[in-house]
Amino acid sequence: MSQRDLFDHQAAAQEWPEWFRPSKHAPTQARNVARGLHPLGTALGDASSTCGGCLHLVKRGKFLKCARTKMSRCSASDVRAKWRACPQFLAKASRQV
């Protein structure tokens, strides 16, 4: 059984929160969520907030990344706007001018 087959098998057996969909291109994110963490490995934040509403969410090319974490050029550091926020969430509306 290849690594991808193993990932597909484990991902299908796991129940995921509605805000997360596992990707075989970012298996570490899936492992973090399966352990009850944010996909980027931090704790989970307020259930009513998402990364999409966070001031730290930035666009790098066509990919979303978090400015509060190490940004790589691979999908391991990609962020989805629908993900539940982490404790470092800062609402876009709270930005000081």
Phi/psi for 3 (5° steps) reads -60, -40
**# residues contacting ligand SF4 (CB under 6 A):** 12
Does residue 80 bind ligand SF4 (CB under 6 A)?
Answer: no
Stretch that binds ligand SF4, among 13-21, 25-33, 70-78, 86-94 (CB under 6 A): 86-94
C-alpha distance from residue 23 to each of 5, 19, 62, 80 (Å): 12, 13, 17, 11
Does residue 26 bind ligand SF4 (CB under 6 A)?
Answer: no
Q: Can you tell me which of 24, 31, 68, 80 binds ligand SF4, judged by CB under 6 A?
A: 68
Does residue 51 bind ligand SF4 (CB under 6 A)?
Answer: yes
Does residue 31 bind ligand SF4 (CB under 6 A)?
Answer: no
Phi/psi for 81 (5° steps) reads -60, -30
Report the alpha-carbon distance of residue 51 to residue 44 in Å, rounded.
11
Contact 39, 83 (CB under 8 A): yes
Does residue 63 bind ligand SF4 (CB under 6 A)?
Answer: no
